[in-house]
Chains A and B, each alone.
Chain A
Amino acid sequence: GQSLEQPSEVTAVEGAIVQINCTYQTSGFYGLSWYQQHDGGAPTFLSYNALDGLEETGRFSSFLSRSDSYGYLLLQELQMKDSASYFCAVRGASGNTPLVFGKGTRLSVIA
């Protein structure tokens, strides 16, 4: 099966940088994804890492270390609108493994 661990809550100051960590266990591995969900909204895709290293998309970056079964999402120049829940998700490599999500990290950006 697949399981993911991420912190339940993080608080950071507007304009700062925050890192949300995710460790995972999966039989086989197809990649680590990150999703953002605002209260009452639908999850939306942020980034995906299939290979080790850093992927950058604007203010957001995501990192993966497959040997450590670990990844993180880095949010820079935090804005109030970044207050949301962030989920890491993983898919195993065998044919019938679903996209499984962690429990999510609630990010609160304060002034």
Chain B
Amino acid sequence: DSGVTQTPKHLITATGQRVTLRCSPRSGDLSVYWYQQSLDQGLQFLIQYYNGEERAKGNILERFSAQQFPDLHSELNLSSLELGDSALYFCASSVDPNSGTEAFFGQGTRLTVV
């Protein structure tokens, strides 16, 4: 158990809908990252937050948004969903965003858009 909690584990929704994925980082970790992993693909970096503020942005679609709350949990909002958004969405956390060392991953949310 990495200490990072993601909910829900599975999500099935229709095209055009909006969903919210939730992540609770490890206790003490201030930095949260979101990644998208499509079938047989690598981990595509979406966005990073540190202590409530956006720190870095990857190739995140405009239909996607995220935030980190004062209690450090984070939510990833996906709207106007398309079939191609079906993927595993991982949240990871680390103590220090400038550290090159370990990031701890949650078990992911498997999103299926039908």
B77 on the A face (CB < 8 A): no
Which residues of chain B are near A99, meaning CB under 8 Å? 33, 45, 92, 94, 100, 103
Q: How large is the interface on A (under 10, 10 to 19, 20 to 34, 35 or more residues)?
A: 20 to 34
A53 on the B face (CB < 8 A): no
- In B62-113, the 8 Å CB interface with A consists of 90, 92, 94, 98-108
Q: How large is the interface on B (under 10, 10 to 19, 20 to 34, 35 or more residues)?
A: 20 to 34
Which residues of chain B are near A101, meaning CB under 8 Å? 35, 42-43, 45
Which residues of chain A are near B101, meaning CB under 8 Å? 31, 33, 45, 48
A24 on the B face (CB < 8 A): no
Interface centre among A42, A43, A44, A96 (most CB of B within 10 A): A42
**B100:A98 contact, CB within 8 angstroms:** no
Which residues of chain B are near A31, meaning CB under 8 Å? 100-101
A33 to B104, CA, bound (A): 12
Which residues of chain B are near A41, meaning CB under 8 Å? 107
A95 to B99, CA, bound (A): 10
Cross-chain contact of B55 among A48, A50, A96, A100 (Cβ < 8 A): A96
A61 on the B face (CB < 8 A): no
**B108:A42 contact, CB within 8 angstroms:** yes
Given A30-B100, A48-B102, A101-B42, check contact A43 B90 (CB 8 Å): yes
Nearest neighbor of B57 in chain A, beta-carbon distance: A98
Please name 10 further chain A to chain B contacts, defined as beta carbons within 8 Å, in addition to the given A31-B100, A98-B56, sorted by A numbering.
A33-B100, A42-B106, A43-B43, A45-B101, A45-B102, A45-B103, A97-B56, A98-B55, A100-B45, A104-B43
Residues of A in contact with B (beta carbons under 8 Å apart): 30-33, 41-45, 48, 50, 87, 90-91, 95-104
